Amino acid sequence: MFKKILIANRGEIAVRIIRACKELGIKSVAIYSDIDAKSLHTRLADEAIPLKGNTATETYLNFEKIIDAAKKTKCEAIHPGYGFLSENPDFIKFVNDSGLKFIGPSEKSVRLMGNKVAARKLMIKHNVPVVPGSTEPISDQNALVEFAEMIGFPVLIKAAAGGGGKGMRIVNSKDELIKNFELAQSEAEKSFKDKSVFIEKFISNPKHIEVQIIADESGNYRHLFERECSLQRRYQKIIEEAPSISINDKQREKLLNAAINAAKACNYYNAGTVEFLFDGNDFYFLEMNTRVQVEHPVTEMITGIDIVKEQIKIASGEKISFDQNDVKIFGHAIEARIYAENPFENFIPSYGKIKEFRQPGGFGIRFESGIDRYSEVPIYYDPILAKLIAWGRNREEARIRLINALKEIIISGVVTNIPFNLILLKHEDFKENRFDTQYINRLQNLIEEHYMSEEENLHLKELSEILVILPKENSRDGIRNSEKIKSKWIERRFRNDH
């Protein structure tokens, strides 16, 4: 087992890995940018090394600085978390060539699954179902038009090296095709330095269902069942849950077998997630995330298996610590991501110093946070602050617990998306499983239509504006004293929901 690990990340995932290290008796080393000097992860780690600068390029994406920090502190391995360098095959090679162990999959697997065209070809070869589409990048406009007409509109243009919705365009007709093709190429080149795109049939209103995989370096593979992540905004997940209530036992068995086959096809090891689209009858391979997922806690809550600890043990040379027959589904778990962003102003990111902070508690509640009352939310990085997970004996119990726990949270100094999460979780469509990946996009007026009157919405919008304008003041006192906010309702909602 490793004696010391460097965590090449920040925020809540860095805190999560630090806690796993403590349980395993491993010393942890944090890295931090200038603005993150007092962040929670730097205070919880055994050691913390500064990386001069603030931007991601200067700090958390800088290969040399990260390796220098690891060697300076005599670390044996590096855990990348998610985001930043977690799926960068060049970084994996750099780490391994430096004599350190990368806690994750091989460079080869990441490079293979990171190219969507190559991954599609591999899945077809190994009988994993894929959406009808091209198996090679398309650069010729005539070939593009011909292929789109063959598979039929609507189609989806996707960046071959992409992810997270970047370089992705839905095209409903031939008239829109060339313009969106050029836009997708341009965005792909800016985001991934690779303008290659491919085209596939667009599956209207699908479910997004993914399977958690664990594999060791001795060729053993396990699944930890599935998660449903259909509530998304611009291809970014907001609410996740496990297990999925959209599939039956026969469909689940087929899904899990396909995921294992996908992992074996690329000789995968460590933790990974195989994502599928589900149209109500059939599954189609979407992509493989070659890292620990943001939403991994919901799987841990229903299986009792610590995925991060398993990652570390596998990277140290151990075999998987459990048999497939040991993995059972116990209850239901739902996660809500908490972002520093204003849901009433097109989800614009919010930043500033945390002035007041209270985290929730209670039976079945898990709060994964990268902040406390001493934290500052910077403008340089992803605005995720925390994840709130609720477990229950059934889905409805988990849903109610999550709603009540969200209402307990106090985060002042920045605006959060907590009110929007509450809207989704309270909505009848969520309770009755009447949603898909396009649900939030279709319901742009969800807040006004389903949650509050026009007058109440006006007050809440004014509240969000004040919080954005005055991020460095004590927002709760400021709102209470403001002549602009007079509604008793807003006082109650702010107290309960924030």
The SS3 of residue 292 is coil
Other CB atoms within 10 A of residue 296 CB:
28
Which residue in the list 169, 291, 399, 493 is annotated as catalytic?
Answer: 291
H helix or E strand, kind and range, residue 149: helix 141-151
Residue with tokens 């109610």: 400
Residue with tokens 């664990």: 214
291: annotated active-site residue: yes
Alpha carbons 364 and 398: distance in angstroms, whole number: 8
31-to-3, 87, 355, 371, 420 alpha-carbon distances in Å: 17, 19, 24, 16, 32
- Please give the distance of CA 56 from its chain centroid, rounded to a whole number: 18
Residue with tokens 């890295």: 31
Residue with tokens 């006004």: 448
* DSSP states of 97-123: HTT-EESSS-HHHHHHHHSHHHHHHHH
Which distant-in-sequence residues (6+ apart) come within 8 Å of 453 by Cβ? none
Q: How many helices (H) and strands (E) does the chain have?
A: 19, 22
Reading the block at residue 353, the tokens are 């110093």
Alpha carbons 408 and 333: distance in angstroms, whole number: 18
Reading the block at residue 272, the tokens are 């990974």
Cα dihedral 245, 251, 256, 257 in deg (nearest 10): 180
The SS3 of residue 42 is helix
Active site residues: 291
